[in-house]
Amino acid sequence: MSSQDEQLIPLFPLPLVLFPYMPLPLHIFEPRYRDMIHSCMEEKRPFGLIRAGTQGTSSAGCLAEVRTVIQRFEDGRLDILSFGLQRFSVLSFDTSKEYLQAKVRPFRDATQDQFEIAAELRTIAIELFIKFAKLNGRKVSEPDLTKMPNEELSFMLCHGELFSLAEKQELLELRDTRLRIDRCTARLSDGVDQRVKLSRVEQHLKGPSIKELQRLLN
């Protein structure tokens, strides 16, 4: 589907934000959404995941496809792994079915010749992302990050706990790759600093271990 195509798609409103290129496990339990997912799998077409909250439903979301069915339950429930594809803007909602649908238009970031990404910014962003992941006990592949196109890298950087849902929605709707990477780099830098300070506090609160105390007493 090109960025100019308009299409009617089924919607899955959830209190989260899905980014392109990112995986998302889902537990499908409501009968209407079970029917929706089964229909999407049979017809090999995507569904739209859109953020829903107390302020209503967002006007932009992300197309997703079912990559695999993790588990099928006897009562019809499903555990699936979905994957973010392309962002879309909602043109109008459709309530003719038991689940929500919408007429949407996909969009992407502006071309990179308009918003050039400096190699130095990429390098700093990747280094901070790896450092933040290590501080939180996670492993990431530097070669994989280095190979990522700019737009995909920008979504990888803002996927996680660094941003609130409202901030993630803003980053999803943003059409400037460089600005998205820039914002993520600033937040990662703050996150690394805070995590380092927190580690020092935790270490201080723990105090000396039993073995260290015994060594000091002997």
Q: CA 72, CA 138: separation in Å to the nearest integer?
A: 29
Residue 204 has pLDDT above 60, yes or no: no
Band of residue 197 on the pLDDT scale cut at 50, 70, 90: confident
Rama region for 187: left / alpha / beta (φ>0; ψ in -120 to 50; rest): alpha
Q: How do residues 54-75 score in pLDDT, each as one tens digit? A: 788 999 999 999 999 999 999 9
Instruction: Identify the pLDDT of residue 159.
Output: 86
Q: pLDDT value at position 52?
A: 93
For the segment 103-118, what is each residue's pLDDT rounded down to a tens digit?
999 999 987 655 577 8
pLDDT on residue 54: 79
Stronger pLDDT, 136 or 62, i.e. the higher one: 62
Tokens of 8: 């009617």
Domain ranges of the chain: 7-107, 119-206
**CATH 3.30.70.1400 fits domain 7-107:** no
The contacts of residue 14 (CB under 8 Å, 6+ apart) are 49, 50, 51, 52
pLDDT of 137-180, one tens digit each? Answer: 888 899 999 999 999 999 999 988 889 999 999 999 999 999 99
